[in-house]
A and B are shown apart, each in its own frame.
Chain A
Amino acid sequence: MKTSRYIAAAAVGALAATLAACGGEGAEPDDGVVRLTFRQFDPADQIQGLVQAVDTWNADNPDIQVELETVTPNNPQQFAREANSGSGPDLIHIALADAAFLADPNILLPLDELMTEQPLEDADSLLATDMTILEETTWAIPWTADTMAMVYREDVLADAGVSGTPSDWPEMLDVAGQITDSSGGEVSGFCFAAGAQQQAAQWFAINYYMWNNDFQLIENNGGDWSVGATQDQLAGAIDYFNSFFTEGITPTSMQAITDYADPSVAAGLGDGTCAMTFMPPAAFRAVQEQVDAELLTAPMPGGLDDGSTHLGGRALGINANTEHQDEAWQVVQYLLSAETFETYDQYPASASTITQLDVDPAEQGFVDQLPHSVPFVRYIGAPITIASLQELVNQQFSAVYSGQSDSATAAQAIIDAIERELQG
């Protein structure tokens, strides 16, 4: 009997100890060294330069050691869960479009005080600050910038008698058709990830097309949100992209892929069966390494028109729960410096730092387009999230490509769904 009681008591004690351990933070050694965790979400093969930059910081600053933590893909909800429960990394890598979501529940540290005490060197030249400064409070600092540019095979275009990439969307369809026709259908003039999935890359091209034709999905009229496109405009955009499939320019198989750098796109660029596509700089570099052929970049159709392409990128934020605000801010300043970008292969979100970079000539398309790109701020703050818009648009365009719907019906479905969300 006694033995059984001891066993029961021990079991309860062990359970309590286990649960207590679950809730506790790991103890830091008391050696005077501040240890910070910096969580970033880009794939490991794209951050070798960042790892090098962090190693340099750690070597130069023995009292402030930074541990780089990779959690990929981007998962701001996970950070929110941790921060809401009083934990999480000290420094966090944020997609520009997510800054507003993380600012709202006050889980990011407002940075204005730190910026006053220890000002940033080039604060005035930062890009996309309208995504990170909300209601006059700075919640994050724009760090890297990117956009989508055309990626193409110059030799394949030349074989079709095409001397350069198209400068506008109607020309895009003509040129892509010419390339496919002249190859007897062997070469896809334009290949792009046209999947229905929320992450499908076609979302960017569709928005670029809309913005270049002076309409957008939603618009903010002084805090009153409404649909920003007519049914005809949306149907026109759907018909435009569907033309690539109906005219045989883009293979139907592209309707099942999501990623701009999907292996089938990379393979097509490599063997010359895909003449043109689009992707951001990191994906371009990854594809460049996979293929033997020479790839070049150029601005998207209409990409040199102001506001016709998006300025994406990452920002840096500090967890409101950190016990080392000053040290975290010092690391942020280092990560924003030109020194970091000497090894970190990204474009800085700073107009002044970007000019100090020695850019590969093959990436000239990104460099030419970036000054004309604008953040997705036009969709920020609406009752419908960008992710939901993205999913809705990709699904409805995909429904037309696959013959489930016609363009007018799909356009109306987009409008109805947006109106439903805007009404709450």
Chain B
Amino acid sequence: MTTRRTSLQAYLLSAPALVIVALLFLFPSIYNVILSLQEISPFQGPGDGEWIGLGNFEYVFGNPEFWAIARNTVFWLTALTVLLRIVFGLALAVALHSPVLRRWKVRGLARTLVLIPWMVPQVVAIASWRWLLDGSSGVLNQVLVGSGLTESGVAFLAQTSTVWWSIVAIIVWRELPFVVMVLLAGLQSIPDEQYEAASLDGAGRIRAFRSITVPNLRPVLTVVVLVTVIQTFNNFVYVWLTTGGGPGTYTAVLATELYSMAFFANKLGAGAAIGLVMTMIMAVFAVLYMRATRTEDQ
């Protein structure tokens, strides 16, 4: 009797949380699946769509540019920026963890400075970078032309040779602090005794980094990679506000294609289909993330 009452109480106590989860997460996900199977415009009300089965998926996958856009999303937007963030983030985290900064009493200042890009709202960061990279009056071009490195300004955001690198630079700059802070926390959790023991055994700094730092950081690195992949793959604003997918469709990604489909072409169902494809890809990473964190918990 007592057990049943306790069980009922547990359900009752968790009910508000379950209702919120259902309303905020489950319902939109199910509704997105419903939309992806309908022909419906953003001007129509819920329930006014026409069921068309998998027609939206055929339409999306039949777009000759879809696979190029998917490649952009996977390689340029996600893989490259995550890789660069991990490499630079690890280097910066190690630098910030260095005893030298503590000796010079600038560790706090350095860590605060690293956080600045993260404090800047994405939209403001992108607007500032657009201004820096402007092909005629941009600060970077003024420096390049003024120092004689180039004869005239470089249209960074209009040339295929520079546009993706510009977007990658913006993403890495803005999102690097998150990686640095998480890795720094990982570094701080490594016991000093391990380094002292290695030092007594004659290990140099590079050897200690390879044999102590990297293995100890591996679980943190795994989580950071998965989280940044999920955050970046779905990101819309960096590309949209920087280039709008141009020049041509050279920098278009799945999130911008989704927006164009839903709100320019008024094909809400096709947009939902792209969203569902993105969700399914990200679900793989979400499962990996959960497995990684569960292993950590255990």
Q: A: which residues have CB within 8 A of B?
A: 1, 4-5, 7-9, 11-12, 14-15, 19, 76-77, 80-81, 84-85, 101-102, 104-105, 107, 195-200, 251-256, 258, 263-264, 267-268, 384-385, 387-388, 390-391, 394-396, 398-399, 401-405, 421
Contacts and interface: CB of A to CB of B under 8 A. Distances in A.
B157 A256 contact: yes
A8 B15 contact: yes
Nearest to A268: B136
A252 B155 contact: yes
25 contacts: A8-B13, A8-B15, A15-B16, A80-B44, A84-B44, A84-B46, A101-B43, A105-B45, A105-B48, A197-B246, A200-B244, A251-B155, A253-B134, A253-B135, A255-B247, A256-B135, A258-B244, A263-B137, A264-B136, A267-B137, A387-B264, A388-B264, A395-B245, A399-B250, A421-B265
A195 B245 CA distance: 10
A385 B15 CA distance: 45
B135 A402 contact: no
Interface of A is mostly: helix
A101 B260 contact: no
Contact of A4 (B9, B263, B265, B266): B9
Contact of B160 (A251, A253, A391, A402): A402
B136 A402 contact: no
Nearest to A195: B246
A398 B247 contact: yes
B131 to A, nearest CB: 8
B43 A77 contact: yes
Given A387-B265, A388-B264, A402-B158, A15 B20 contact: yes
B260 A391 contact: yes
Interface of B: 5, 9, 12-13, 15-16, 19-20, 23, 41-46, 48, 134-137, 153, 155-160, 243-250, 260, 263-266
B244 A195 contact: yes
Contact of A252 (B5, B20, B158, B264): B158
Contacts of A196: 243-250
Contacts of A81: 42
Nearest to B248: A399
Contact of B155 (A12, A105, A256, A399): A256
B246 A398 contact: yes
With most chain B CB atoms within 10 A of its CB, the pick from A8, A251, A388, A390 is A8
With most chain A CB atoms within 10 A of its CB, the pick from B41, B42, B136 is B136
Contact of A105 (B9, B23, B43, B158): B43
Contacts of A19: 23
A421 B62 CA distance: 12
Contact of A399 (B42, B44, B249, B260): B249
Contact of B263 (A5, A15, A77, A264): A77
Contacts of A11: 13, 15-16
A98 to B, nearest CB: 9
B248 A395 contact: yes
Contacts of A255: 155, 158, 246-247
Contact of A402 (B13, B44, B156, B159): B159
B160 A4 contact: no
A80 B248 contact: no
A407 to B, nearest CB: 13
B264 A198 contact: yes
B15 A12 contact: yes
